[in-house]
Structure 1
Amino acid sequence: MERTADSEDGQLLVENLISVSGAFEGSEDIAAARDLARSFLADVQAVHGLPVSGRAMGLVQLVVSELVTNARKYAPGPCLLTLEVSGGAVEVTVWDSNPTPPAILAPDPRRIGQHGLEIVMAVGQSFAVHREPLGKRITTAILLADDPGGDLTGRRS
């Protein structure tokens, strides 16, 4: 797949785009969303030759699970998951039909449940919520590779 954009001098720029999308409607689709993420990252490594650490594989599946679960729980209708490789990371985006931004609660180890966004924000390189003409889009980025010491690299606050 390719993306096109105009450069400052008006010329058309084309860059390779590695992405996949899927629509999910039922709670049983949460496992299918994780499977899509796992398959996508396996292809990123096998077909496109980009390194994907075991940590990245697990974190992306965790983030997908948390975001799709929230979308299915709090928004009517389907949600749309998009995974896109950009700048050494995979951007995980989930769109749903509810325009209300998610409540981001302060960490509380005594609270039972509602820790999904805490987890997503803790493991992601970035986190953003965008209102859409219909609904909202939540995006986070997970680095594909670890540094030689095993730590995630390039974390932005």
Structure 2
Amino acid sequence: MDTMSVDVATDRPAGSVAVARDSARHFLDGLVPSLASEVAEIVALVVSELVTNALRHGGGACTLDLTAYPDSIEVAAHDHNPHAPRMRTPDLDSGTGGFGWAMVNRLARATAVTRRASGGKTVTALLAR
């Protein structure tokens, strides 16, 4: 089992998401056996969505953890907001989002939201390796 953890802050939201995505790609590139490029791109997309949501709705900072198991990759975003993400109708007119959580749920084998004893929550997505 391989693991990686990255702290992400919202001082530069777009840059922070890019750092999280690049860190995830670096982690995935080091796995043996290597991942198919399509799988790595799906993991990077899920990382982007979970970190974006955590920064936007979770208090401005989060920690991203990735864990590689023999048959799956777990992506976990920890933030300070105790409220679970919710499905909503995507906003096609004013660009306020609504696509991410539904997309993560379609791409993942399983998702979970767990409240943390220290406050906040962890949103986890388990993806096929």
TM-score (norm 2): 0.88
Equivalent position to 2:126, from 136, 141, 145: 141
Equivalent position to 2:22, from 13, 27, 35: 35
1:9-65 Cα shifts (integer Å, max 9, x gaps): xxxxxxxx3000000002021000000110000001xxxx21301111100110000
Q: In the alignment, what sits opposite 1:149?
A: none
The CA deviation at 1:109 is 8.5
Q: In the alignment, what sits opposite 2:104?
A: 120
Letter paired with 2:122: R
1:82-121 Cα shifts (integer Å, max 9, x gaps): 000124111000000000111123x669575211001100
TM-score (norm 1): 0.73
How many angstroms apart in 2 are the aligned matches of 1:125 and 1:102?
A: 17
> Greater relative contact order: 1 or 2 (C-alpha under 8 angstroms, separation 6 or more)?
2
Gapped regions of structure 1 (runs ≥ 5) = 1-16, 145-157
Does residue 52 of the first structure (1) align with residue 35 of the second (2)?
yes
| SS of residue matched to 1:82 | strand
8 Å CA contact retained: 2:91, 2:98: no
8 Å CA contact retained: 2:28, 2:34: no
Taking every aligned residue pair, what percent have the same amino acid on both sides?
Answer: 32
For these two proteins, the number of residue pairs brought into alignment is: 123
Q: Which is richer in helix?
A: 2
Letter paired with 1:51: S
Q: In the alignment, what sits opposite 2:52?
A: 69
Letter paired with 1:138: V
Where has structure 1 moved over 3 Å in runs of 4 or more?
107-112
The CA deviation at 1:141 is 1.3
How many angstroms apart in 2 are the aligned matches of 1:109 and 1:79?
A: 25
Gapped regions of structure 2 (runs ≥ 5) = none
| SS of residue matched to 1:139 | strand
Does residue 95 of the first structure (1) align with residue 82 of the second (2)?
no
